[in-house]
Structures are given as structure tokens and as C-alpha cells.
Amino acid sequence: MKINGKNYTAVWMERGAVCMIDQKILPHEFKVVKFSNHKATARAITDMTVRGAGSIGVAAGFGAAQVVLEGADKTDRRSYFKKGFDTLRKARPTAQDPFAAISRIEFVIQGIVDPVALKQVALLEAQAISDEYVENGRKLGVFGNALIKKGATVLTHCNAGWLALQDWGSALAPIYAAHRAGKKVMVYADETRPRMQGMKLTAWELAQEGVPFAVIPDNAAAYYMRQGKIDLVITGADRIAMNGDAANKIGTYEKALCAKAHGIPFYIAAPLSTFDPQCRTGAEIPIEERSGDEVVFVTGRTAKGKTETVRVAPEGITALNPAFDVTPAHCITAFITNAGIVKPNQVKKLLN
């Protein structure tokens, strides 16, 4: 991704610190923040300074490398590693990518005793994970682009672009590829209550890339589908079960039902690291419940350029905030993966 003429990824490592674009303050402010130990990195994942399945996968991989850097010289290093990896695993429970990244670090350091080698191997693996996300995002773009016709209008939900998968993105990668191929695509971006990833982040990215788009209220998708204004839907995913059920940002299921009712293809774009071989069906995917404060308060910029958070709901009410839902396999036309286009009933075979 290119911001103000400079190349960035969503997350990277510099001299032992995990650096990331602060996604909490975009689109009004662009700032890079650094976290010098794994506990701080885990907190940045939980509070969504970094978010999106792929980017939190990379952050967890670098965080796991920090655990190894911090613990390699300790006499009780194996218990330090275990505790540190557990802290990172607990940071956000729904996405599979952080679990996959941490397991990769755990695997490559097995049996190594030399502290210098431990650190080197962990750092190299974390960087390899990061590089793979960039390349996989590019491939999602290539495979997904083939599904987009000239002049198509694509509906997307949440932010599944640069910021969410290190560089190209998952759902937005095919759109970027189609746009660069001159296909004149148009995007409808769901605002994505309650944290507004669509309105804040997808809108910011699409504007940077010059893709024509409109933000629409979360509850407007069926209205536009019925008018024939949406040709296909592409979203990302946080965890995909072996039967083809897929968890993604809350509201995705509703869009999939609407698309099915209107005969509109519904695609999920995700790298293979998002598929969970241990998870048989969507019923086994843990759904993160976040604070109701994210529902009742809204943060934005005032006309005077000040960021303010205001309460919208009455005092003392209860607000529920499930961060994800599961779209059943029968609502998904196909998965766009870095290994090609895969039907929901082919998922198990693909991973075996």
C-alpha cells in the first residue's frame, strides 16, 4: 500500500518493536505506533489498534517473536514462552490467523537450545509469515479479479483491504486488481456498525486507491440489491470451518441471506491461513463479545478538527456487541483463496 508516496504494510518489526499503522485513529489521522514487548502487542490487538484477520495474524507472529526475544536468555524460558504465546492467543479469539501464526513460531523453535539461534529463527519465521500475507493478498487479487466483470458494482462489508491483511487485502484485493486492470468497478461499502470499519477504513483505502465508491448504511444492502444495483458481494473472513461455514464481521450473515434471496453471487476471499482444520462446523467458532460501549458511543471529528466521543443511547441501557457472525456454507457461492477458487463443499479436500 502506498500512503503519501511511501510504501507501507499494516504491521512490521523494527529492532524488536512491533510497529503498526494506528487503525483506531484513521481516517482523520495517520500515525505509526510501536510496541516494545509482547504484552503491549497483545493489548494493541485487543484494543484494535491493529485489526483484520491477516494483520492481527502478522502482529501475533511478531508478538510471538518478541516472546522469544524476551525469554530466550531466561533459565525458565519454556514456561515464559508458553505464557507469552497464551497471552497473544487470548488477545482476540475469533480469527484463526493469529493462532496459525503463533503455532508456526512455536513449531520452528522446538528443540533449539542456543538463545541466539532461538531469537534468529523466531524473527525469520515471523518475517516469513508477514511476507506470505503480502504475496497471498496479491494472489487473492489475481484469482478474484477473474470473477469481476467490466463495470460491476461490488458490495463489501467491514474492512478487508490493505489494513486488514498486511497489504493488498482479502475482499478488496480482487477489487484493486480489477480497478488497476481498467474494469471501471464501483464499490458499495457497508458502514459496518458499531466500529465503522467500512465507513472509516474501507472508504479511506478506496479513496487512496482512486476506486469509485459509496458508503451505504448497514441496512441498505437489500434495498440496492432489489434495484439490481449490486452485481456481486465479496467479504473477508476471520475463521472458516471445514464444512465451509465462515465467520466474519457481524452483519455478514445478513448480507449473505440478502444476496441469496436476490440470486446475487456471494464470495468470501481469504488466504488458506484463515481456514481452521480443527474446526468442523461454524458452530465451533468462538464468537468474540466486545463491550457494549462500542455500540452506545460514537467517535468522530468535529468541525474544529477535534476528535470526540459522544454517547448516542440513553444512560444505563444494555447494549450487546457480538463482533462476528457465521455465514452458513449454503449461502456462500465460493471462496477466493490464494490457491484458487474453492466451493464450500471442496474446503475439506483442499486442506487435507
Residue 245 within binding range of ligand MRU, rule CB under 6 A: no
Whole-number Å distance between alpha carbons of 39 and 58: 15
Among 1, 59, 165, 232, binds ligand MRU (CB under 6 A): 165
52 versus 71: smaller Cβ distance to ligand MRU:
52
Closest CA to 28 of 162, 174, 140, 196: 196
The neighbour count for residue 339, using CB atoms within 10 Å, is 13
Kindly indicate which of the ranges 8-16, 234-242, 291-299, 334-342 contains the residues binding ligand MRU, using the contact rule CB under 6 A: 234-242
81 versus 133: smaller Cβ distance to ligand MRU:
133
Residue 185 within binding range of ligand MRU, rule CB under 6 A: no
The CB-based long-range contact list for 22-29 (8 Å cut-off, 24+ gap) reads 22/49, 23/48, 23/49, 23/50, 23/51, 23/52, 23/163, 23/201, 24/48, 24/49, 25/307, 26/163, 26/200, 26/201, 26/204, 27/200, 27/201, 27/203, 27/204, 28/301, 28/307, 29/307
Residue 236 within binding range of ligand MRU, rule CB under 6 A: yes
With H, G, I as helix, E, B as strand and everything else as coil, classify residue 74: coil
Least separation in angstroms between residue 334's CB and ligand MRU is: 16
Q: Is there a catalytic annotation at residue 238?
A: yes
Among 70, 190, 238, 245, binds ligand MRU (CB under 6 A): 238
Catalytic residue (one of 97, 167, 190, 238): 238
Residue 26 within binding range of ligand MRU, rule CB under 6 A: no
> Which residue minimizes CB distance to ligand MRU?
236
Angle (nearest 5°) at CA 165 between 270 and 50 = 130
Whole-number Å distance between alpha carbons of 273 and 282: 16
Among 38, 51, 179, 200, binds ligand MRU (CB under 6 A): 51
Residue 193 within binding range of ligand MRU, rule CB under 6 A: no
Residue 194 within binding range of ligand MRU, rule CB under 6 A: no
243 versus 248: smaller Cβ distance to ligand MRU:
248
Residue 71 within binding range of ligand MRU, rule CB under 6 A: no
Residue 203 within binding range of ligand MRU, rule CB under 6 A: no
Residue 52 within binding range of ligand MRU, rule CB under 6 A: yes
> Using the 8-state DSSP alphabet, how is residue 18 labeled?
E
Count how many Cα atoms sit within 13 Å of the Cα of residue 175 in the half-sphere of its side chain: 36
Among 323, 331, 342, 347, binds ligand MRU (CB under 6 A): 323
Among 59, 67, 158, 332, binds ligand MRU (CB under 6 A): 158
Whole-number Å distance between alpha carbons of 106 and 87: 14
Helix extents (H) in 194-265: 197, 203-209, 221-226, 252-261
Among 9, 130, 153, 197, binds ligand MRU (CB under 6 A): 197
165 versus 332: smaller Cβ distance to ligand MRU:
165
Give Cα 15 to chain centroid, integer Å. 25
Least separation in angstroms between residue 98's CB and ligand MRU is: 11
Catalytic residue IDs: 238
* Contact footprint for ligand MRU (CB under 6 A): 51-54, 158, 160, 164-165, 170, 197, 235-238, 248-249, 323
